[in-house]
């Protein structure tokens, strides 16, 4: 079988490149390999709190050099969607700078006076007053948009309620379900492809969640790779009616530019970053572990 050409990657951020504030072992080498091979990529995240510039700085703090133009957030995808639907409109926003900046950049006016849209994003400080205002505006006829359906988000202290959970509260109070722009909506994948000027046939999605990354990539016509360094475990995979094109322990096991349809591998134990100051227990001493073969043994470089 002829090798399937790979030109671009759409890479989820949390659980694939970083885990909380720590880089996934091998993520830096994979990104460097993409650059050396002359391939394209975008880092995708449903997180709408931060701007692409903010996220670039945060990733740099974790040792990953990714310029802002290589980061695509649900806030950017939401702004692009609103620009195509109702240019230079108005919105009441529940969210942080990542979302408000994206809307300002497309010429939107942020207002609580008869706005065209109520746009719900993620924030670490959801205000009951702001949610009440959103409920009243939606009941008065504002169109309801949410950046993503994620019910929870990660933090150092543990899971936090996220956009999807708050959206459910507003829906319960109004009877109106929002249009979710972020993953698993393939619209976010399509907008990312357009940003890269890429084609789905030559682009691979890499993610850690079956219910967002993998299904969104599948519905957008792309090959998908599930990494086990984040949310989904190998025992979860068979619970879904669809499967990724390939499964690997982490991004470190994925050869850059390799046709993922030809990977003959079986995951063993997912690679998670050790806490700062903890000893290296991977046996690689900072080097990326090699591919995992069907025998279950790992070949190290």
Distance CA 137, CA 119 (A): 11
Distance CA 142, CA 117 (A): 5
- Nearest 5°: phi and psi at 99? -85, -45
Whether 14 is catalytic is yes
Helix or strand holding residue 293 (H, E): none
Q: Where are the beta strands (DSSP E) in the chain?
A: 8-12, 18-19, 22-23, 40-45, 71-73, 90-94, 109-110, 117-120, 143-146, 152-153, 160-161, 179-180, 203-207, 223-227, 246-248, 289-292, 298-300
- CB-based burial, 9-40: b 16+ in 10 Å, e otherwise: bbbbbbbbbbbeeebbbbbbbbbebbeeeebb
Whether 12 is catalytic is yes
Residues serving a catalytic function are: 12, 14
């Amino acid at each position: 079988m002829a090798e399937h050409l790979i030109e671009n990657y759409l890479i989820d951020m949390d659980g694939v490149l970083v885990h909380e504030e720590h880089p996934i072992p091998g993520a830096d080498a994979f990104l460097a390999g993409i650059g050396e091979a002359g391939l394209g990529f975008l880092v995708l995240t449903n997180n709408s709190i931060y701007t692409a510039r903010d996220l670039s700085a945060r990733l740099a703090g974790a040792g990953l050099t990714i310029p802002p133009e290589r980061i695509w957030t649900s806030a950017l995808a939401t702004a692009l969607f609103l620009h195509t639907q109702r240019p230079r409109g108005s919105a009441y926003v529940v969210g942080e700078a990542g979302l408000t900046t994206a809307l300002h950049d497309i010429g939107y006016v942020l207002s609580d006076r008869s706005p065209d849209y109520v746009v719900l994003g993620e924030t670490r400080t959801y205000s009951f007053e702001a949610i009440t205002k959103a409920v009243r505006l939606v009941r008065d006829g504002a169109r309801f948009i949410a950046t993503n359906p994620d019910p929870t988000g990660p933090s150092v202290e543990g899971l936090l309620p996220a956009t999807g959970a708050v959206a459910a509260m507003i829906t319960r109070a109004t009877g109106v379900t929002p249009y979710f722009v972020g993953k698993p909506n393939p619209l976010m994948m399509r907008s990312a492809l357009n940003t890269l000027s890429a084609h789905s046939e030559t682009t691979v999605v890499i993610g850690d969640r079956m219910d967002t990354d993998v299904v969104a990539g599948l519905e957008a016509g792309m090959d998908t790779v599930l990494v086990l360094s984040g949310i989904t475990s190998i025992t979860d995979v068979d619970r879904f009616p669809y499967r990724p094109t390939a499964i690997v322990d982490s991004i470190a096991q994925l050869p850059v530019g390799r046709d993922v349809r030809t990977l003959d591998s079986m995951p063993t134990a997912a690679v998670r970053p050790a806490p700062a100051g903890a000893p290296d227990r991977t046996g690689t001493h900072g080097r990326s572990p090699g591919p995992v073969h069907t025998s279950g043994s790992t070949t190290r470089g």
